[in-house]
Amino acid sequence: MADDWELLYHPLSGRGEYVRLLFVEKGIEFKDTTDPQVIAKVREGKLDGFPVMFPPVLCNGDFHLAQTPTICKYLGKKFGMYPDNETDEWRADQLNATIHDFIGEGRLSFHGLHPTMTYYNQIEETKPYIERFVNERLPVWLKHFEAVLKENNGGKGFLFGETVTYVDLGLMQALRATESQFPDAWNNADYIPTLKSYKDRMCSRPRLAAYFKSDKCRPFEGNSMM
Protein backbone atom coordinates (compact mmCIF):
# COMPACT_ATOMS: atom_id res chain seq x y z
CA MET A 1 0.00 0.00 0.00
CA ALA A 2 1.45 3.37 -1.02
CA ASP A 3 1.55 5.93 1.75
CA ASP A 4 -0.79 8.50 0.26
CA TRP A 5 -2.62 9.63 3.37
CA GLU A 6 -5.83 11.62 3.40
CA LEU A 7 -8.07 12.62 6.30
CA LEU A 8 -11.73 13.37 5.65
CA TYR A 9 -13.21 15.57 8.35
CA HIS A 10 -15.05 18.82 9.03
CA PRO A 11 -13.03 22.08 9.00
CA LEU A 12 -12.70 22.10 12.79
CA SER A 13 -10.65 20.55 15.55
CA GLY A 14 -13.06 17.91 16.90
CA ARG A 15 -12.32 14.23 16.67
CA GLY A 16 -10.21 14.71 13.58
CA GLU A 17 -7.54 16.48 15.63
CA TYR A 18 -6.62 13.26 17.38
CA VAL A 19 -5.68 11.85 14.00
CA ARG A 20 -3.91 14.97 12.74
CA LEU A 21 -1.62 15.02 15.77
CA LEU A 22 -0.17 11.62 14.89
CA PHE A 23 0.93 12.95 11.52
CA VAL A 24 2.25 16.14 13.11
CA GLU A 25 4.31 14.33 15.74
CA LYS A 26 5.93 12.12 13.12
CA GLY A 27 6.38 14.87 10.55
CA ILE A 28 4.43 12.91 7.93
CA GLU A 29 2.53 14.75 5.23
CA PHE A 30 -1.18 14.11 4.66
CA LYS A 31 -4.06 15.69 2.80
CA ASP A 32 -6.58 17.32 5.14
CA THR A 33 -9.85 17.22 3.18
CA THR A 34 -12.67 19.32 4.63
CA ASP A 35 -14.79 19.73 1.48
CA PRO A 36 -18.47 19.65 2.61
CA GLN A 37 -19.46 17.62 -0.45
CA VAL A 38 -16.91 14.94 0.39
CA ILE A 39 -17.99 14.87 4.04
CA ALA A 40 -21.62 14.60 2.89
CA LYS A 41 -20.70 11.50 0.86
CA VAL A 42 -19.30 9.95 4.04
CA ARG A 43 -22.41 10.71 6.09
CA GLU A 44 -24.72 9.51 3.33
CA GLY A 45 -22.87 6.23 2.93
CA LYS A 46 -21.78 7.07 -0.61
CA LEU A 47 -18.03 6.78 -0.12
CA ASP A 48 -16.62 3.95 -2.21
CA GLY A 49 -15.12 0.93 -0.49
CA PHE A 50 -15.82 -0.70 2.86
CA PRO A 51 -18.77 1.13 4.48
CA VAL A 52 -18.09 3.81 7.10
CA MET A 53 -20.69 5.85 8.98
CA PHE A 54 -19.21 9.14 10.11
CA PRO A 55 -16.07 11.25 9.77
CA PRO A 56 -13.23 11.30 10.52
CA VAL A 57 -12.21 8.81 7.85
CA LEU A 58 -8.60 7.93 7.11
CA CYS A 59 -7.89 7.09 3.49
CA ASN A 60 -4.85 5.52 1.88
CA GLY A 61 -5.65 4.58 -1.69
CA ASP A 62 -8.74 2.39 -1.59
CA PHE A 63 -8.27 1.67 2.12
CA HIS A 64 -10.75 3.57 4.31
CA LEU A 65 -10.89 3.46 8.10
CA ALA A 66 -13.28 5.23 10.47
CA GLN A 67 -13.73 5.52 14.26
CA THR A 68 -11.18 7.82 15.87
CA PRO A 69 -9.84 5.35 18.48
CA THR A 70 -9.33 2.71 15.78
CA ILE A 71 -7.62 5.14 13.40
CA CYS A 72 -5.28 6.30 16.15
CA LYS A 73 -4.34 2.77 17.12
CA TYR A 74 -3.78 1.86 13.48
CA LEU A 75 -1.55 4.86 12.80
CA GLY A 76 0.25 4.40 16.10
CA LYS A 77 1.30 0.92 15.03
CA LYS A 78 2.02 2.04 11.47
CA PHE A 79 4.18 4.97 12.61
CA GLY A 80 6.09 3.17 15.38
CA MET A 81 4.28 4.93 18.24
CA TYR A 82 3.16 1.70 19.84
CA PRO A 83 3.95 -0.21 23.04
CA ASP A 84 6.80 -2.71 22.76
CA ASN A 85 5.18 -5.57 24.70
CA GLU A 86 1.84 -7.35 24.73
CA THR A 87 0.83 -6.29 28.24
CA ASP A 88 1.28 -2.63 27.46
CA GLU A 89 -0.32 -3.09 24.04
CA TRP A 90 -3.62 -4.09 25.61
CA ARG A 91 -3.38 -1.59 28.43
CA ALA A 92 -2.84 1.09 25.82
CA ASP A 93 -5.86 -0.16 23.90
CA GLN A 94 -7.93 0.04 27.09
CA LEU A 95 -6.76 3.57 27.83
CA ASN A 96 -7.33 4.66 24.24
CA ALA A 97 -10.96 3.56 24.51
CA THR A 98 -11.30 5.24 27.91
CA ILE A 99 -10.01 8.56 26.57
CA HIS A 100 -12.62 8.60 23.83
CA ASP A 101 -15.34 7.51 26.25
CA PHE A 102 -14.36 10.56 28.32
CA ILE A 103 -14.67 12.88 25.34
CA GLY A 104 -17.94 11.22 24.34
CA GLU A 105 -19.47 11.75 27.78
CA GLY A 106 -18.25 15.34 27.89
CA ARG A 107 -19.70 16.04 24.47
CA LEU A 108 -23.05 14.51 25.40
CA SER A 109 -23.40 16.83 28.38
CA PHE A 110 -23.66 19.70 25.90
CA HIS A 111 -26.50 17.94 24.09
CA GLY A 112 -28.66 16.92 27.02
CA LEU A 113 -31.96 17.65 25.27
CA HIS A 114 -31.11 15.91 22.01
CA PRO A 115 -27.78 14.23 21.12
CA THR A 116 -27.70 15.32 17.46
CA MET A 117 -29.25 18.76 17.79
CA THR A 118 -26.80 21.66 17.75
CA TYR A 119 -25.77 22.91 21.17
CA TYR A 120 -26.96 26.40 20.26
CA ASN A 121 -30.55 25.14 20.03
CA GLN A 122 -30.50 23.72 23.57
CA ILE A 123 -28.25 26.05 25.55
CA GLU A 124 -30.57 26.55 28.52
CA GLU A 125 -31.93 23.01 28.60
CA THR A 126 -28.52 21.41 28.72
CA LYS A 127 -27.00 23.58 31.47
CA PRO A 128 -27.84 21.08 34.26
CA TYR A 129 -26.13 18.29 32.31
CA ILE A 130 -22.98 20.34 31.87
CA GLU A 131 -22.91 21.31 35.55
CA ARG A 132 -23.33 17.71 36.61
CA PHE A 133 -20.51 16.62 34.30
CA VAL A 134 -18.15 19.29 35.62
CA ASN A 135 -18.96 18.78 39.29
CA GLU A 136 -19.46 15.03 39.48
CA ARG A 137 -17.92 13.30 36.50
CA LEU A 138 -14.92 15.36 35.45
CA PRO A 139 -12.97 14.71 38.68
CA VAL A 140 -13.59 10.97 38.32
CA TRP A 141 -12.09 10.91 34.83
CA LEU A 142 -9.14 13.15 35.64
CA LYS A 143 -8.22 11.24 38.80
CA HIS A 144 -8.22 8.03 36.78
CA PHE A 145 -5.87 9.47 34.17
CA GLU A 146 -3.60 10.74 36.95
CA ALA A 147 -3.46 7.25 38.45
CA VAL A 148 -2.75 5.60 35.10
CA LEU A 149 0.04 8.06 34.33
CA LYS A 150 1.75 7.40 37.65
CA GLU A 151 1.92 3.67 36.90
CA ASN A 152 4.83 4.28 34.53
CA ASN A 153 7.95 5.87 36.05
CA GLY A 154 5.88 7.79 38.56
CA GLY A 155 4.29 9.84 35.78
CA LYS A 156 7.55 11.57 34.86
CA GLY A 157 7.66 10.31 31.29
CA PHE A 158 5.14 8.67 29.02
CA LEU A 159 2.16 6.42 29.58
CA PHE A 160 3.89 3.23 28.45
CA GLY A 161 7.59 2.51 28.23
CA GLU A 162 10.22 5.12 27.43
CA THR A 163 8.87 6.56 24.18
CA VAL A 164 5.76 8.40 23.03
CA THR A 165 2.82 6.31 21.84
CA TYR A 166 -0.43 7.11 20.09
CA VAL A 167 -2.16 7.07 23.47
CA ASP A 168 0.06 9.86 24.78
CA LEU A 169 -1.11 12.08 21.95
CA GLY A 170 -4.73 11.11 22.58
CA LEU A 171 -4.57 11.91 26.28
CA MET A 172 -2.74 15.16 25.62
CA GLN A 173 -5.46 16.29 23.22
CA ALA A 174 -8.23 15.28 25.62
CA LEU A 175 -6.56 17.34 28.34
CA ARG A 176 -6.17 20.31 26.00
CA ALA A 177 -9.89 20.05 25.25
CA THR A 178 -10.70 19.89 28.95
CA GLU A 179 -8.64 22.95 29.79
CA SER A 180 -10.14 24.89 26.88
CA GLN A 181 -13.74 23.95 27.65
CA PHE A 182 -13.60 24.12 31.45
CA PRO A 183 -10.75 26.51 32.35
CA ASP A 184 -11.93 27.19 35.91
CA ALA A 185 -12.42 23.52 36.72
CA TRP A 186 -9.03 22.71 35.19
CA ASN A 187 -7.20 25.47 37.07
CA ASN A 188 -8.82 24.43 40.35
CA ALA A 189 -8.03 20.73 39.89
CA ASP A 190 -5.15 20.62 42.34
CA TYR A 191 -5.62 16.85 42.66
CA ILE A 192 -3.90 16.13 39.31
CA PRO A 193 -0.48 17.82 39.51
CA THR A 194 1.29 15.04 37.61
CA LEU A 195 -1.28 15.07 34.84
CA LYS A 196 -1.00 18.83 34.40
CA SER A 197 2.78 18.64 34.15
CA TYR A 198 2.44 15.82 31.66
CA LYS A 199 0.06 17.86 29.47
CA ASP A 200 2.46 20.80 29.41
CA ARG A 201 5.41 18.52 28.69
CA MET A 202 3.65 16.84 25.79
CA CYS A 203 2.49 20.15 24.30
CA SER A 204 6.10 21.36 24.37
CA ARG A 205 7.35 18.66 22.02
CA PRO A 206 8.92 20.59 19.12
CA ARG A 207 6.66 19.58 16.23
CA LEU A 208 3.53 19.76 18.34
CA ALA A 209 4.43 23.15 19.84
CA ALA A 210 5.06 24.57 16.37
CA TYR A 211 1.78 23.14 15.11
CA PHE A 212 -0.26 24.57 17.99
CA LYS A 213 1.12 28.03 17.16
CA SER A 214 0.41 27.71 13.45
CA ASP A 215 -2.64 28.53 11.35
CA LYS A 216 -3.03 24.83 10.61
CA CYS A 217 -4.20 24.17 14.17
CA ARG A 218 -7.88 24.93 14.37
CA PRO A 219 -9.25 26.37 17.63
CA PHE A 220 -11.69 24.49 19.81
CA GLU A 221 -15.31 25.22 19.00
CA GLY A 222 -16.15 26.19 22.58
CA ASN A 223 -18.88 23.57 22.90
CA SER A 224 -18.80 19.81 23.37
CA MET A 225 -15.05 19.61 24.21
CA MET A 226 -14.45 19.66 20.46
Q: pLDDT for 19-41, tens place per residue?
A: 999 999 999 999 999 999 999 99
Question: In what order do the strands lie in the sheet containing 63-66?
Answer: 31-33, 5-8, 57-60, 63-66
Identity of the residue numbered 174: A
51 and 91 inside one domain: no
Quick check: is 218 in a domain? no
The domain of 31 spans 5-78
The DSSP string of 27-83 is T---EEE--HHHHHHHHTT-SSSS---SS-EEEETTEEEE-HHHHHHHHHHHTT-S-
Average pLDDT over residues 183-205: 98
Quick check: is 198 in a domain? yes
CATH number of the domain at 36, please: 3.40.30.10
Domain count, the chain: 2
Q: Quick one: DSSP state of residue 119?
A: G
Q: pLDDT for 53-98, tens place per residue?
A: 999 999 999 999 999 999 999 999 999 999 999 999 999 999 999 9
Kindly tell me the number of DSSP H helices and DSSP E strands found in the chain.
10, 4
Residue 3: which pLDDT band, with cuts at 50, 70 and 90?
confident
Global confidence as pTM: 0.97
158 and 108 inside one domain: yes
Boundary of a domain, candidates 61, 78, 95: 78
C-alpha distances (whole Å) from 188 to each of 24, 98, 115 are 31, 23, 29
CATH number of the domain at 157, please: 1.20.1050.10
Quick check: is 188 in a domain? yes
Give yes or no for residue 2 having a pLDDT over 60: no
